[in-house]
Amino acid sequence: MIGLRARRPEPPRPVPAGSAAIEVRGLSVERGARTVLTGVDLTVRAGEVLALVGPNGAGKSTLLGAVGGDVASTGDVTVDGTPLSAWSHAELAMRRAILLQRQTVSFPFSVAQVVEMGRAPWAGTPLEDDDEAAVAEAMRQTDTSAFAQRPYPQLSGGEQARVALARVLAQRTGALLLDEPTASLDLHHQELVFGVVRERAAAGAAVVVVVHDLGLAAAHADRVAVLAAGRLAACGPPGDVLTAGLLSDVYRHDVEVFPHPRTGRPLVLPHRPASG
């Protein structure tokens, strides 16, 4: 009697720039009696940065988790043209990498060891030969090479955030799902992170980044998706979406929007009374 063979993971194929890398149709998420997301439709294209913005509790992290296959949902999600549920865990890990808001490392692994974890999906494949180069590049891009041998738990919050991003970059997938990658970073490293994000998109990756700083979204995203109360309120180029009317309504605070004097992209500021 011949036993059943485990299916061999199918390696990814390049997705042409501008084509749909991830498609979401009618996605809804419920937790107990609470509806977190309702009927979300969204397309993420290869070669673009899509910023996901909205107030606290709007469902941004939940949407990212559902797209990545880590949060149970109803509706349809396809990755590289195939339903999310059809990919094995190994195949999915070859196609998308997820940066969570909170990173937990229980043992005193070194920074280099944590980044090397991002190469796990490629173990036993020809791309395993790229491990060393991928780890070195990811650490260089995130400005973490200087403390490669330090124990991860001894790092500051901002340093840990950059190491966590390096691990995701080292995975070298065609889609990046990043949940608040700049939340604990200083100005220099915020710009560094979005510089890396733009580089990955220019190389053909589809990038979804959850960000609270509307200025960063306006400056670096190709498109902005605004979530409000679990629904998609708007999605499009920053200049079309980040308007004073929409943002004032979504954030329940008067917002002013001005064109940047050099780039022309929106500058978003909360309305404040003139100082006396």
The DSSP letter of residue 58 is S
d(CA 200, CA 172): 9
The vertex-43 CA angle with 170 and 264, nearest 5°, equals: 85
Instruction: Identify the pLDDT of residue 2.
Output: 47
Same-domain pairing of 160 and 124: yes
d(CA 239, CA 250): 16
The Cα-based distances of 150 to 146, 189, 275 in angstroms read 9, 19, 47
Binned at pLDDT 50, 70 and 90, residue 168 comes out as very high
Domain extent, residue 141, equals: 102-172
Mean pLDDT of the chain: 92
How many Cβ atoms sit within 10 Å of the Cβ of residue 110?
Answer: 15
Cβ atoms of residues 240 and 221 within 8 Å: no
Instruction: Identify the pLDDT of residue 102.
Output: 74
Same-domain pairing of 140 and 251: no
Same-domain pairing of 180 and 262: yes
CATH number of domain containing 29: 3.40.50.300
d(CA 67, CA 76): 9
pLDDT tops 80 at residue 43: yes
- How many domains does one find in the chain? 2
**What is the full DSSP assignment across 118-132?**
GGGGGTTSGGGGGHH
Same-domain pairing of 134 and 213: no
264 located within any domain: yes
Out of 119, 141, 172, pick the residue that ends a domain: 172
d(CA 155, CA 273): 40
pLDDT, one tens digit per residue, over 94-131 is 999 999 987 777 678 999 999 999 999 999 999 999 99
Q: Taking the model in full, what pTM does it have?
A: 0.92
35 located within any domain: yes
